[in-house]
């Protein structure tokens, strides 16, 4: 059957996709009640539920997950003998960070220089629209009959890492069972280069608090002899990397190599917007550092801000430290190594308190099955160039939960989050052409996967 009608259908739906994405971005659905009202997440969840119900999905539910958030579930049986495909995404987003750094309001979708800007425009509300646009195109071309059975799950706490959907799925193991699972939460290696993500690093986080004094002291009267907690914390954090920028934690190796697609230094510098004259950190290729090796990042520090600071020796200071671990590394053991390193580096005999946060294991995909064959064919048709496989430095803990629950299911990771989208940063955006081609890819995939399984 000619594919042009499907491509035309997707193209005709892009204005609607922009309108819908604007509505969805307008919800500041940050799953942290300390920063944003929980009602905004509830509104986003209801919007997603209504949108999939409008595309013929049935048994639409708002699932109350154990972490207090809601996940949207929907399903639709397919034709007799057709496989079932689960489509995943999440509607919660990162906080906007420094709102003064946004060139347009974070929660107002704004078109600029051919891109659509707004928090969640790519991660991950853009991927929700990828799913919706693919399904709408199939209905437009084929009527109400989808070629596969469908299940939809869109969670509300992926960015917080609180594991609500993982625990819900473990308690209801039949709910998300499928022959193939499409995780819409990654992106192409470069815009226009169709890519499946073949591996994910795991992640663990620890909170480090250092206390040295009963209270702050005047820096003129006591500075130079009184142990400064902020100075101690800075010293501890500085010890996490060696002079080259590689992780310097005993028990964590930083010499692994990545054998797949490579990331040119110049391209990475451009994608990451590294300033002129500033060197990249670490050794090995960029792909080695991003996808095959551990990475430690200081996510935040509790210390007096510059504006309003007083002349004081600090009695306490706190930091949040993230550790990304590559496939082949046990996350719990890696966290133990990080904690042991921090404990060994504390100076002055300062009091140290470490709070461990959840662990997410790394993930590697088997790319040899029919779902990957169907995705490769769909991507090549949609983009006009062969599919490649890359790694991903981020973490999606749900992937390992799904693999444990459904070991026979193929898990395929795709999405609209190519490197220039600036997810988790200010001025996040999505390229509408990427969204269009990825929606077409998914529509083609659903049809092709049904054909391969039938054959």
> Strand, helix or coil at 61?
strand
Q: Is 55 helix (H, G, I), strand (E, B) or coil?
A: coil
92 is known as an active-site residue = yes
- DSSP 8-state assignment for residue 43: H
**178 vs 164: CA distance, rounded Å:** 20
174 is catalytic: no
DSSP 273: T
- Residue 267: phi and psi, rounded to 5, are -70, -40
Residues 12 and 139: their CA atoms lie apart, in Å, by: 13
Residue with the two structure tokens 């820096």:
219
Q: Which of 92, 159, 392, 418 is catalytic?
A: 92
d(CA 139, CA 3): 14
* Cβ-based neighbours of 30, under 8 Å, separated by 6 or more: 36, 40, 41, 92, 93, 94, 95, 159
Contacts of 425 (CB under 8 A, 6+ apart): 97
**Catalytic-labelled residue, pool 67, 75, 155, 158:** 158
Chain mean position to CA 269: 21
The Cα 29–Cα 25 span in angstroms is 8
Q: How far is CA 327 from CA 202, 221, 361, in A?
A: 7, 52, 8
CA-nearest of 422, 375, 388, 49 to 183 is 375
**Contact status, residue 291 vs residue 394, Cβ threshold 8 Å:** no
> What does DSSP say about strands 312-313 and 115-117: parallel, antiparallel, or unpaired?
unpaired
- Collapsing DSSP to helix, strand or coil, 335 comes out as helix
Residue of 351, 389, 396, 397 whose CA lies nearest to 372: 389
Are 82 and 68 a contacting pair, CB within 8 Å?
A: no
Do β-strands 195-200 and 410-414 pair in parallel, antiparallel, or remain unpaired? unpaired
343: enclosing H helix or E strand: helix 331-345
**Which residues belong to the active site?**
92, 158
């Amino acid at each position: 059957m000619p594919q042009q009608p499907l491509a035309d259908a997707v193209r005709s739906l892009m204005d609607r996709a922009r309108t819908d994405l604007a509505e969805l971005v307008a919800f500041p659905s940050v799953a942290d009640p300390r920063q944003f009202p929980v009602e905004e997440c509830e509104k986003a969840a209801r919007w997603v539920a209504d949108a999939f119900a409008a595309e013929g999905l049935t048994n639409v539910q708002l699932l109350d997950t154990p972490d207090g958030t809601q996940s949207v579930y929907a399903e639709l049986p397919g034709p007799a003998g057709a496989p079932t495909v689960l489509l995943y995404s999440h509607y919660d987003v990162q906080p906007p960070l420094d709102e003064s750094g946004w060139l347009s309001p974070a929660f107002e979708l704004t078109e600029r220089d051919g891109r659509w800007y707004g928090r969640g425009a790519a991660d991950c509300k853009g991927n929700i629209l990828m799913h919706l646009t693919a399904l709408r195109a199939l209905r437009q071309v084929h009527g109400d009959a989808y070629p596969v059975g469908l299940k939809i799950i869109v969670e509300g706490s992926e960015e917080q890492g609180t594991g609500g959907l993982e625990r819900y799925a473990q308690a209801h193991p039949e709910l998300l069972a499928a022959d193939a699972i499409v995780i819409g939460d990654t992106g192409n290696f470069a815009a226009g280069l169709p890519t499946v993500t073949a591996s994910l690093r795991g992640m663990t986080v620890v909170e480090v608090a250092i206390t040295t004094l009963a209270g702050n002291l005047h820096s003129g009267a006591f500075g130079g002899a009184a142990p400064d907690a902020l100075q101690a914390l800075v010293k501890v954090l500085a010890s996490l990397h060696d002079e080259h920028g590689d992780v310097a934690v005993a028990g964590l190796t930083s010499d692994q190599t990545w054998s797949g697609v490579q990331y040119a230094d110049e391209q990475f510098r451009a994608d990451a917007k590294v300033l002129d004259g500033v060197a990249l950190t670490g050794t090995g290729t960029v792909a080695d550092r991003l996808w095959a090796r551990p990475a430690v990042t200081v996510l935040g520090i509790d210390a007096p801000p510059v504006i309003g600071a007083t002349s004081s020796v600090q009695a306490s200071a706190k930091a949040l430290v993230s550790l990304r671990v590559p496939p082949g590394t046990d996350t719990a053991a890696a966290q133990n190594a990080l904690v042991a390193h921090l404990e060994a580096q504390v100076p002055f005999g300062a009091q140290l308190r470490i709070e461990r946060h959840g662990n997410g294991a790394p993930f590697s995909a088997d790319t040899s099955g029919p779902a990957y064959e169907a995705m490769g064919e769909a991507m090549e048709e949609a983009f006009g160039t062969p599919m490649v496989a890359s790694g991903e430095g981020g973490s999606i803990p749900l992937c390992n939960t799904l693999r444990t629950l459904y070991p026979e299911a193929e898990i395929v990771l795709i999405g609209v989050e190519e490197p220039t989208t600036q997810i988790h940063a200010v001025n996040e955006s999505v390229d509408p052409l990427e969204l269009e081609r990825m929606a077409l890819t998914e529509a083609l995939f659903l049809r092709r996967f049904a054909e391969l399984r039938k054959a």
